[in-house]
A = this chain, B = another copy of it.
Amino acid sequence: METVHTILETRKIIKAWKKDGLTVGLVPTMGFLHEGHESLVKKAAAENDKVVVSIFVNPIQFGPNEDLEAYPRDLDKDKLVCEKANADLIFNPSPEEMYFDNAVTSVAVKELTEGLCGSKRPVHFQGVCTVVSKLFNIVTPDRAYFGEKDAQQLAVIKRMVQDLNFDIDIVGCPIVREEDGLAKSSRNTYLSRDERKAAVILNESLNLAKEALKSGEQYASKLTGIISKKISSEPLAKIDYIEIVDSLELKPVCKISSSILVAIAIYIGNTRLIDNFTWDIK
């Protein structure tokens, strides 16, 4: 496995692979890899001849008061995770390699980015779409892998790929969880011991909503009621949003009649965590 830091080197390696008729899977990440990322890399390795993992903390997807500087980084550990999961190439550019000083181009997906995480993080998804477009053009993968934990991101990227005609299959991968049910996230490292314990409330509250759906609950407002009540029982938790939306257009639903996404964002202390599940009507 090789680690390269320039676009030129990355292109050279991938062009040689493509010349040999090999397929390429891309796993775009911001590094500090955990078992969630590992599952993406493993799936990519199973479905493609070659796997590229990009590791880049993308400055333009962080808002002015977000955690860009504090975002955890550990390239050495990331290399071990990638190697173990059968990646072939790590693309780890500097911000200067990715963005010229005079860069003025952006890719935006409207509507799908207005609710959920998008309403509180107005520049976030434009930053994500712009950097993912760049990575797609640099790596030219056959398939790209994204975690279902970032459900809105996955829906937005799928729509971007459809709208801009990228010839790339977008593969969503299931959430990987800690033993107590907390979704794996690089941001979990921000939590103190007490906060870490409290964070289990995200998954627990979603499980209650899932139970209600299994029992035939049809009203979104009932589900948000169940979730918010549970979260309110945890003193360290503060609700950012609880939303029930259709899983394609991400528009709020009242009565549940199609495939839905139940998504929540909760502050545990100062750390914002997200979790979700999708529910298909048979």
- Taking Cβ atoms with an 8 Å cutoff, the residues of A that contact B are 7, 11, 100, 102-112, 129-130, 133-134, 137-138, 140, 159-160, 162-167, 249
Contact = CB atoms under 8 A, between A and B. Distances in A.
21 contacts: A7-B165, A100-B163, A102-B249, A103-B163, A104-B109, A104-B159, A105-B108, A105-B159, A105-B163, A106-B107, A106-B108, A107-B107, A107-B164, A108-B108, A134-B164, A134-B165, A137-B164, A137-B166, A138-B165, A138-B167, A140-B167
Contacts of A11: 167
Nearest to A106: B108
Given A138-B165, A164-B133, A164-B137, A106 B100 contact: no
A35 to B, nearest CB: 30
A105 B167 contact: no
B159 A137 contact: no
Contacts of A167: 11, 137-138, 140
A164 B109 CA distance: 16
Copy number in the complex reads 2
Contacts of A100: 162-163
Contacts of A162: 100, 103
Nearest to A249: B102
